[in-house]
Chains A and B, each alone.
Chain A
Amino acid sequence: MKKIFTILIIITLAGSLFSYSLLERETGSYTGSLDPRSIAMGSASVAGGNRLLDSIINPGNLPLMQNKLGVQFYGGIITNFDDRSLPMYNSFDAYCGDATYVSNVHPFEQLAGGVYYKHKLSNFDIAASFIFHPYIDFTSDYLEEVRNNANSDLNSYPPIIAKNYIEGEGSIDAFSVVTAVKYKELATFGIRFSKLMGDANLKRRIIWSDYSFGKLDTLLTNTTNILERDFEAFQVQIGTVINIDPRLSVGLSITPKVEFDVNGTKDSVNVEDAVYTYFTSLDSLQNVIIVDSLTYAEYYAPLTFRAGLNYKPRNIMRTNFNLDIEFVQWSEINKLYDDAYNFYIGVEHCLKNKIPIRIGFNFQTNYCLNDHSGLVFADKVTMPAFTAGTGFTFLENFLFDIAVEYANRQYETLDLFMDSYYWGDDGAYEDLWENSYYIELNGGIQDRGWENPDTVKETFFNIQTSISFKW
């Protein structure tokens, strides 16, 4: 009991550590599947999920549990590699590649857990569960060191004049109750009610170094921008699994759009008055005009509809094949987004010694908002992921699953911290620069706009595990 209590405390404490990338630092990222068996199979589990945590993808999966009572604990480490580069030009002035100027590697943890009970009643199996799991994650971490242009020919680095930070914390967690029923071996139907609540705190800081204060003590002040929000909402999801025959089953789940109650401030301004996206257009004279806007207080989770199949062929290795297609109605949460389809595919082979080998693939779409001289666009950012995993049983009733996931994506964005800031208005911070003469030749430090954006290469390497115990 003491151990369980300790685990629950850890889950609660760790709930704020969920992580992802800078791309979604304001919108948060959806955590998706949390069962390592499904993750190893490309997160395709709307029909073939047979672990407790698969019921957050499709509540219809819940009665497919083999035992009467069981628990599952999940823990994952997500490592985000974020490389930002600026464009380079060759001697013919052609863009020829990118030079990475800042790299960030941050690992983060994820935890989830739940318990279920299943009861047989005549031709019906009735099951219920309680699951705690992260739903949207706002954690991010970024550090950039700004150095001046001092000579480095004595094998020394130029001094740091400032450090730039972006630190995101918080998540929206779900406390879910899932109930589901199975009729014979024909079909299941389930429903999930989730209380979604959490907070997000995003800080953007520019901290001048001691070196800089030594040079310009009176002029410099550190900068901190803070976005703080609390979220609350209620979510319903329904799902079903229909067994077409003993080999083939089809699963469907639908999660309607969720509108969150949001409170908070952005740099001391109430989020209801802080604009997140401007919707722009061109007038007859080709001037940019703002036609509408979305504030930080308007926060939604889009409608998703997911359909998939599970196929169990006769194979010399026991085999499961899962395939899911997910429709996400992004257009409902931001007019600049298009609706998107995500694909998930996975296979599980059990080798002769009963060790399963699981491989999978998925392909998901996200959006990145960009401002081009006042006109706001949304660029589609796609991310393919490759997954693999295995699992084993120990001490009879314990089941351990492990999955690794590798994904990468690439997108363009503006410099997170514009360079001219470190030169100051009209060269106010000139003294921070060792060879300011050369900078002055170019008329000061110029900001890079969309003509020379950053190329961001992001890689995720995730290791996810779970332990299930069944009675």
Chain B
Amino acid sequence: MNKFLIIILFCVTLSLFAETKEELDIKHKELIEKYYREKNKNISKVSGAIILPEKIDLNTVSLKELKTLPISSEQAEDIIDHRDYVSFFKSIYELREIESIDQVTLNKIKPLVTVSHYDDQDETAQRREEIYYLIERLGSNEGLQEGMSDVWEDYLITPRNINKLNFSDIMNLPNASPIDVAAVLNRVSFGDSISSYRDLRKSPGISYYGAKNIRHYVYYEDKPLFQDLFIDYQMKYNDDPYPDDVMDMYRESMIRYDPSGELQTPGIKTQSYWGFFNMQNDRAAVTNKLRIRYQNEWKAGFLYDSPKGYSDVFNSSTSDLFKDSKFYVGYEKELDFYGKNFIKLYAGNYRATFGEGLVMENTDYYSPRKTGYGFNKRITGIIGDVSRTQEYALRGFAVDWKRKNLNAVLFLSQDQKDAVVYDSNGNGIFDDDDHILSYISMTNRFTDDELEAVEEDFNDYPDNVNIIRIAPRRDCLQENIIGGHLEFSPWIGTHLGVTGYEATYDRDFVVPEEDELKDILIYHGNYYDKWKITDNEISSMYSTISPEIGDRDYRRVIGFDWRTVLNNTSFQGEYAELEVDGSLGKIGDDPKALILSAYSQFDNLYLLSIYRNYDLEFDNPYHRSFSESERFDDTVYEKLTYALNNTLLTDMYLNSVQPSAEKGIYFETRYQFNTMLTITRAYLDLWERKSDARRGVRFEAKLEFKPIHQFRIRLRHKHQVKRYDNEQDRNKSQADESEVKLLFYLSNFNKIQLGYVYTRVFQPPYLSILSNPALASGPDMAQASTLTNGDMIYVDYTHNFNRNLKVVGAFSFWYAEGASFWDFEDVELDFDQSDRGFKYWFNIHSRIANNLFLSFKYKYKQFLTRELEYRKFNEIPEEGEYYFQRVERKENIIRLQLDWKF
């Protein structure tokens, strides 16, 4: 009761001090009149009404003028601050977003102020705002589409008139199929023009996905460039540790004693490259990239990439800086000269890609199942190159000329390449007279001085029998390339092309006969039996000198490519030959490679079929066409690091970029049953490896079920078998992986994903490591096939604080007895292979300004390593007794990326 009385008393008291609404209005009116009386002494009254002077525009007013309003000077400063550093006012009610402006103040000044439409964003900024999410997506895909995201980003910022584009221009856009391109060009060729996206969608034959992707990159009329000069600068810092297989290579001992003798290899860290170069301390990778574009005609780029362990830009000599950096200047122009001509001229580093990549596609990065469609596109023709490609970079001059139905490209390159050299003249040193075995893309590009020092140290080690006979050397091969591409298009969607190049060298490529090759590659005869038929991939590499072909100083590759679009199907292919012992002009007498494909497109379905057949001897270093695996898979380069004469040769496999010699057929489809159910991608690949006739089957399907827009279920299953024909052979390996993922789309574009992966691997005994072959009399160690399985759970979350600040994070935990997982993180693909582990990461994307972006990623990973390892130092009480121990490893990874776009 007392409480009730107190409340009533309180309310009565308040009411005594409270003002009615009418009283408040009168007060405000008085205030306003007072303000105007002070501001303008000449207020006139006509029939009692006040003629008010012009209201103050919050978007243009100066601080001095603002201070004349009935507000405090702090409030006036806050208003100016908000306008300068947050946003222009779109409504006077936005004043409430300022902390110091309360409702009373707003009511007070509401009649005195106004806002005009005002924006300082120029058209470039507006365009960037529109396509920000696409640029972000391109940036996150850069690892997979090396170098191409730059080109697509340029197209996004300055779209071109779709009615004036030619076949390759549209075909080079992401997710555009040849049928989509033919649909657009057919319309334009009949004098029609496409006026809008809606109109584009009506083009007969175009797919929904094709049109949806093309629309971001095109306008429908000529629009003047809203800016002449475009500058893009990017800095990336990445302190990822070396991957496990790379560490294994560098840590392997280079000091070996006779395996049949009694000496034990000492456990000494400095006996390996890792210990000698103290690679534990290797600094992080830093990349600086600058691109400049003027009026869409002049283009220039510069990149200095210092990979992990490499000297930074401040400590590089001028000559190294020139050698290791990438740069280009390019000019692209449409000229009227007996019709329309489109010219591209590039000097410096450039990318050259033609056809299906059989003859020429110069990148250091291998991508399995690169179909050339969807997300596995290749940009054909010539483009400036400031990608991280180093070994297969072309540096020189290139011209690309297009007319209505003719396209001619000429490219010249002169560059020094890293290569594997062996002591062919037997004088105990690597000199200029020694032969080259092959190109090599080194993980850590040690200098020649460093390599010579470490080799001397290893060779002089007491009782070491492993004297280095073969080693990589930096920039030791002068490669001069002249090449070209000629293409004729008789009608829309059809072309016939020929591509060829000749590379001349200042040194000879010589692959010795098999016995000698084994002797060079493997340090001791005890391990020669590890050399398998698969190693034919090594022995069949190209030689410039051999008894069959005599003495040459070149490598020549020539190929033909074609495409035709018939209704909703596109047929294309490429055939190429490497001149070995036949003649250049004669077809079929040299090692050859063939790829044929057909792509059919329907409203809710596409079908892709690819047939490929590559000869084992087709050793073209610039070959990047479709394949299931890279060259040197399963060879001694991969399996025999511990017995290689030089462990650095493992890089031949680790950074292998040429497709493996294989023949096979591949089918891929996407099918949308209805808006709720879609097979997003399903493929089946049946192939045979040429070197050892091992057959493989790989099937993967992804299904998406979307009962409501905010919720999706994704299922994925992968099945892969690799085996030889002989049923008795235990070399069958089989892997199955299933995944279920639940996606919840929340408000404000936030997203949460929950996933589970189960994997099962059935594999043969690791014969190359076990010393006992699969013979009835031999084994003293179990050699049954093994079944390993494991699973992983993960959760991903994307939170948008607003459109300029986003955090993406994930946690995953796996338990696997040696099985492995590929994990698609936001900007990379991570390989998790261990017994048991977990990781979490987060990535903060901050848009500092419309043209300045910062993203920061931190990842922590903790896992038990796969191998059984034992502690040796001071801990061997007796022969045969070891402390076995699983080792836990912890990795901290920090990444930073800063993008500035002017």
Contacts and interface: CB of A to CB of B under 8 A. Distances in A.
Contacts of B314: 341
A185 to B, nearest CB: 12
Contact of B251 (A95, A149, A351): A95
A451 B804 contact: no
A97 B280 CA distance: 11
B212 interface: no
Contact of B252 (A94, A315, A361, A382): A94
Interface in B860-894: 865, 867, 869-874, 876-878, 885, 887, 889-890, 892, 894
Contact of A451 (B252, B275, B283): B275
A163 B442 CA distance: 46
Interface string A57-100: 00000000000000000000000000000111111111111010
B268 interface: yes
A316 B84 CA distance: 11
B802 A316 contact: yes
A462 to B, nearest CB: 15
A435 interface: yes
A445 B873 CA distance: 10
Interface string A288-322: 00000000000000000000000111111111010
B867 A96 contact: yes
B267 A89 contact: yes
A93 B265 contact: yes
A256 interface: no
A354 B81 CA distance: 14
A319 B642 contact: no
A451 B266 CA distance: 10
B269 A87 contact: yes
Interface hub of A96, A357, A451, A457 (most chain B Cβ within 10 A): A96
Contact of B280 (A317, A386, A455): A455
B278 A94 contact: no
B86 A318 contact: yes
Interface residues of A, number: 62
B611 to A, nearest CB: 42
Given A311-B852, A451-B275, A96 B248 contact: yes
A452 B802 contact: no
A90 B867 contact: yes
Contacts of B315: 338
A379 interface: yes
Interface in A96-123: 96-97, 99
A380 interface: yes
Contact of A347 (B84, B802, B846, B858): B846
A359 B846 contact: yes
Interface string B264-302: 111111111011001011011000000000000000000
Given A314-B120, A379-B281, A381-B281, A386 B858 contact: yes
B283 A345 contact: no
B253 A316 contact: no
B854 A419 contact: no
B282 to A, nearest CB: 9
Given A314-B84, A359-B844, A363-B237, A319 B849 contact: yes
Nearest to B249: A94
Interface hub of B84, B99, B120, B896 (most chain A Cβ within 10 A): B896
A321 B873 contact: no
B336 to A, nearest CB: 43
Given A94-B272, A316-B803, A411 B280 contact: yes
A315 B887 contact: no
A459 interface: yes
A412 interface: yes
Contacts of A453: 269
A438 B281 contact: no
B284 A246 contact: no
A455 B867 CA distance: 20
Contacts of A384: 237, 239, 284, 894
Contact of A319 (B85, B120, B264, B878): B85
B805 interface: yes
A92 B266 CA distance: 10
A312 B315 CA distance: 33
A314 B849 contact: yes
Contacts of B856: 359, 361, 386
A453 B269 CA distance: 8
B701 to A, nearest CB: 38
A312 B854 CA distance: 15
Contacts of A89: 267, 870, 872
Contacts of A451: 266, 268-271, 275
A313 B848 contact: yes
Nearest to A365: B283
A335 interface: no
Interface residues of B, number: 67
A354 B97 CA distance: 10
Interface in B307-329: 314-315
A291 to B, nearest CB: 22
Contacts of B898: 345
Given A88-B872, A345-B898, A363-B237, A315 B272 contact: no
Contacts of B271: 451
B267 A459 contact: no
Interface hub of B281, B642, B865 (most chain A Cβ within 10 A): B281
Contacts of A315: 85-86, 804, 847-849
Contacts of B97: 352
A392 interface: no
Contacts of A452: 267-269, 873
B801 interface: yes
A450 interface: yes
A97 B850 CA distance: 46
Interface string A334-354: 000010010001010101101
Contacts of B72: none
A317 B804 contact: yes
Contacts of A406: 858
Contact of A96 (B844, B850, B869): B869
Interface in A425-471: 435, 438, 442, 445-446, 448, 450-453, 455, 457, 459
B801 to A, nearest CB: 6
B91 interface: no
B873 A86 contact: yes
A352 B803 CA distance: 13
Contacts of A349: 801, 804-805, 846
B87 interface: yes
Given A321-B852, A379-B278, A379-B281, A438 B878 contact: yes
B86 A97 contact: no
A408 interface: yes
Contacts of A280: none
B87 A314 contact: yes
B281 A380 contact: yes
Nearest to A350: B86
Given A94-B248, A435-B877, 10 more contacts: A90-B869, A92-B253, A93-B253, A97-B887, A314-B87, A316-B803, A319-B849, A321-B854, A408-B892, A459-B892
Interface of A: 86-97, 99, 149, 246, 311-319, 321, 338, 341, 345, 347, 349, 351-352, 354, 357, 359, 361, 363, 379-382, 384, 386, 406, 408, 410-412, 419, 435, 438, 442, 445-446, 448, 450-453, 455, 457, 459
26 contacts: A87-B873, A89-B872, A90-B870, A93-B265, A95-B251, A97-B865, A311-B848, A313-B85, A314-B84, A317-B802, A318-B86, A321-B849, A349-B846, A357-B805, A379-B281, A381-B281, A382-B281, A382-B284, A386-B856, A410-B281, A412-B280, A419-B874, A448-B873, A451-B270, A451-B271, A452-B269
Interface of B: 81, 84-87, 97, 99, 120, 237, 239, 248, 251-253, 264-272, 274-275, 278, 280-281, 283-284, 314-315, 642, 801-805, 844, 846-850, 852, 854, 856, 858, 865, 867, 869-874, 876-878, 885, 887, 889-890, 892, 894, 896, 898
